[in-house]
Amino acid sequence: MRFQHTVGRSISIMGTGLHSGQPSILTLSPAPVDSGIIFVRKGKTHSEACQASIRNLRPMDLCTTIGSNGFRVQTIEHILSALWGLEIDNVNIELNSEEVPAMDGSAAPFVKLIQAAGRVSQERQRTYLKILKPLHVGQYNRSLSILPSPIAKVTYSIDYDHSLIQQQTYEYDGTVSEFMVNIATARTFAFSAEVESLWARGLGKGGSLENTVVFSDTGVLNQGGLRFPNECVRHKILDLIGDLALLGVPIIGHIIANRSGHHLHTELVRTILDNPEAWTLLDTSDKLPFVMARHSINGAQPAHSFPLTTSSIL
């Protein structure tokens, strides 16, 4: 049986928002069973909270953003990916700004933070959503499908007109070890020719070679180069894992992505919820499948290690 998990203690990290360019402090704190992932901002007189749920998704280019009752937080995909990749089910994420810090552009700093806080088992079994029938979103050359499978699996393909990227495909087996070793360190990427356009749209104000892999017409501007020859497709999987966390329960199924992105990732989550006949929920306490109403997984109720450094951990 697999139990729910939270973090062992409160711990913080600070950095700069990728799009806002504003300083940001993020604090992870333990949360009770079945509470899910909650973003919190504390004010002088009251606190605001927003659950990481597809029902709270807000429109935003090039990142995943949620909000409710006037509270908004953007670029949440990397911290969600780290939590989901390490099977952390319940946690409070306190922020002093409207954007999660970018750190190095990957999920690795958040993985280190979780490791430093400790991963604590809770006295409640996890619930899994098992795909029974294929579902599909997208069209033409951009698509995302999920198929029945006995295990969680992702096959992701990308195609960019750049000599260092071109066509890349990666298969991810959905395990914690695979996530930490081969996915978590993959960084977000951009193209130098598009940077001024991003700035004109009010995006990427905090972007730098410290948190983004930047491709020029002929190479990589970052001094250290790429961490993997196929770092770009690995980062796409990192984003997908974070976006799927908005479903609120882990998926058992085979996801096949072709030139996808945040929009299709979250559209797939909505499509899953809109088609309850295509899935069932598995309760690991008795290992018998049962079907739950869609509002039950869309609401508040369920819902190799890295070297540790202290430079950015408070």
Catalytic (active-site) positions: 262
Of the candidates 259, 280, 313, 279, the one whose C-alpha atom is nearest the C-alpha of residue 28 is 313
Helix (H, G, I), strand (E, B) or coil at 215: strand
The residues, any chain, with a CB within 8 Å of residue 264's CB and separated by 6 or more, are: 137, 138, 142, 143, 144, 257
Output phi, psi for 42, to 5 deg.
Answer: -95, 130
The two three-digit tokens of residue 111, written as one number: 């993985």
- Three-state DSSP at 177 gives helix
Q: Write out the two tokens for 167.
A: 């066509």
Q: Is 103 left (phi over 0), alpha (psi -120 to 50) or beta?
A: left
DSSP state of 100: -
Beta-strand pair 127-131/251-252: parallel
Q: Which amino acid is at 257?
A: A
Token couple for 160: 């960019």
- Residue closest to 203 by CA, chosen among 187, 217, 190: 190
